[in-house]
Amino acid sequence: MGVRWGFITALLVVGAALALWGCAFDGAGVPAADGPPTKPDKGIDARVDAPLDAPLDLPPDLTPDLHHDAPVDTAPEAPLPDLPLPDLTPDLPLPDLMPDLKPDTLPDAGPDGDLGPPDAWVCPKVCTNNCAGNVCAMDCSLGCTCPKGMVCTTSCNGLGKCLGPIDCSAGTDCTVNCSGGACSGDITCGTGKCEVTCDGSCGGAITCAKASSCAVKCKTLACSGPILCNAPDCDIKCETGSCNGGISCGPAASTCKIDCTAAGACAAGGVTCAASACCILCGNLSCGGALSCKDATQCLISCPHAFCNTTCPTNCSTGCGAASTCGSCW
């Protein structure tokens, strides 16, 4: 801004000087129209003839205001100091993506070991004991299903109690106790140890198809439905007037013992055993139906009365009993 004002001021001074120089020329060398030549003004000539680099005597108000222009710093810039860079990746604690399992709050795994996410598991609603000890005490008022991979128990007492099926097929060990006319639906064991006790109850089928062992105890006037055992170890005991729906031990069973010695036990439905070793015991007033172990490897049928209808294994030429090569009981 100061340079611009200086340039404009210089132009003005030059113009004024040229004007004065013209006037001085007229007075110095041009004669007047009538009369002698005029005397030149040496003051003006002195100013015109001054060197170009001489300082100009300008009025104070025409002096450019240069004191506002800040001096230009031409010194080289100092190098930036080496400052430490901030740590943009601080050591932060990583979240624990693998929480500790809590075996005291989880049930035993089922056959496929699938229990779902460890901390997401909660005790199923069917369990009335909050799964204490990893055991589910089921409420089977209208029927029930054992949760997958769990040990389940239930007790039903009284006529009309536990009307629906009791299904432990997805569980492992299963214990069922029914009395007083309860448990009119089917009872299905799981893959572990199965124990079913019925007293004047259990009107549906009792099935131990996949259990590791099966013990069925039918007390007085109990177990009016069929009983099927295909576990490696089957033990079925029938008391007075019970087990009239038929009993069957499948070919997957290693040993099958069926006790029908009580009066009126196994009176109808018959008994069939296809296990490796079968033992069928009857009393004087029991076993009114057919008794067959024709598909067994070893078989003992003990029936003291004359109405026994027995069928022995096909490889036994002397019949079934302790005296024959096929007779065996433990």
**2-35 pLDDT, tens digit each:** 545 556 666 665 565 555 545 444 444 444 444 4
pLDDT for 174 equals: 98
Name the residue with higher pLDDT: 35 or 79: 79
Residue 128 has pLDDT above 80, yes or no: yes
Nearest-5° Cα angle at 236, 285 to 284: 10
Residue 132 near residue 92 (C-beta atoms within 8 A): no
pLDDT at 173 over 90: yes
**319: phi > 0 → left, psi -120 to 50 → alpha, else beta; which?**
left
Residue 312 is predicted with a pLDDT of 82
**Rounded to an integer, what distance in angstroms lies between the CA atom of residue 140 and that of residue 287?**
33
- pLDDT tens column, 270-298: 999 999 889 999 998 999 889 998 888 88
- Residue 318: its pLDDT value, please? 55
- HSE-CB at 67 with a 13 A cutoff on CA atoms is 1
**Average pLDDT of the residues in 200-222:** 96
Q: pLDDT tens across 314-330, in order? A: 766 556 765 444 555 54
**pLDDT, tens digit (0-9, with 9 covering 90-100), for 255-266:** 999 999 999 999
Instruction: Tell me what pLDDT residue 172 has.
Output: 97
Handedness of CA 161, 184, 213, 270 (dihedral sign): positive
Q: Which of 250, 188, 189, 241 is nearest to 218 (CA)?
A: 241
- The per-residue pLDDT for 31 is 43
Between CA 246 and CA 212 the distance in angstroms is 22
- Average per-residue pLDDT in the chain? 77
- How far is Cα 328 from Cα 322, in angstroms, rounded to an integer? 6
pLDDT for res 303? 85
The pLDDT tens digits of the residues spanning 132-169 come to 999 999 999 989 999 999 999 999 999 989 999 999 99
Out of 64-68, 147-151, 279-283, 300-304, pick the least confident.
64-68
Residue 311: strand pairing partners: 292
The per-residue pLDDT for range 39-50, each reduced to its tens digit, is 445 444 444 455
Give the tens place of pLDDT for each residue, 85-118: 666 655 656 555 554 544 444 444 443 445 544 4
- What's the mean pLDDT in 201-208? 96
Q: Which range (69-83, 123-137, 218-232) has the least confidence?
A: 69-83
